[in-house]
Amino acid sequence: MLIRHGLPIRRELIEGVADPELSAEGWEQARHLGAYLASEPLDAVYSSPMQRARQTAEPVVAERSFDLVLEPDVAEFDRDSPEYVPVEELKAANDPRWKAMLDGTWQNESEDPTLFNERTIGAIERIIGNHRGDRVAITCHGGVINAYLSHLLGLDVDSRGFFYPNYTSIHRIAAASTGERSIVTINETSHLRGTGLPMGLFQKG
């Protein structure tokens, strides 16, 4: 399972790394996620070390008999950026950065797309290889999920961003030991239904 983090706060710095924590709504999303997955057997939970992903994973591992494992290579491409603005805020304000995202000219990446794909896809495949026969969850980021699913679908690196992963959405992949990968679900958000919490660009729970 690849799981996107909950809604983080907005943080814009002059220097340093933004790495924002979850907002109040993000914590609620994570709580609902943890309750939703509580009845599912899991053998391991990994997380990006970025705060928004790590905090999202906390309710998932809270009642389990193992600890959360941090995996630096599933961090987002903006891991060293001094700013983080939720894309919903950019859209609502008709920010030029939102327009740039729409027309494909946004250049706010701090990592080469090809290297980003190699890093993140390699990390996910490494986790799969270490857990044959297991059920594993990885809390990470929209860019990471897009990169891996684009890879499975045979899309090129420029197609990353072909869909929008909602906050705390679950993306299930069945991985065979012979190398086959099957996408089981995309953007699973049943745990947010009826909550009124923000889910992403287009809807609320």
In a domain, 103, yes or no: no
User: Can you give the pLDDT at residue 180?
Assistant: 97
pLDDT tens digits along 30-39? 999 999 999 9
Rounded CA separation 51/20 (Å): 6
pLDDT tens digits along 138-170? 999 999 999 999 999 999 877 667 788 999 999
Q: What is the CATH number of the domain that holds 68?
A: 3.40.50.1240
List the beta bridge partners of residue 47: 70, 139
In a domain, 14, yes or no: yes
In a domain, 203, yes or no: no
User: Can you give the pLDDT at residue 15?
Assistant: 87
In a domain, 177, yes or no: yes
Rounded CA separation 110/200 (Å): 23
In a domain, 126, yes or no: yes
User: Can you give the pLDDT at residue 96?
Assistant: 78
In a domain, 77, yes or no: yes
pTM for the full predicted model:
0.92
Number of domains in the chain: 1
Q: Report phi then psi at 4, rounded to 5.
A: -80, 150
**Domain that includes residue 124, residue range:** 2-84+115-190
pLDDT tens digits along 115-132? 999 999 999 999 999 999
Average pLDDT over residues 16-36: 96
Instruction: Using DSSP, state whether 161 is helix, strand or coil.
Output: coil
Q: If 0-12 CB within 10 Å is exposed, 13-18 middle and 19+ buried, where does residue 22 land?
A: buried
User: Can you give the pLDDT at residue 200?
Assistant: 82
User: Can you give the pLDDT at residue 53?
Assistant: 98
In a domain, 45, yes or no: yes
In a domain, 107, yes or no: no
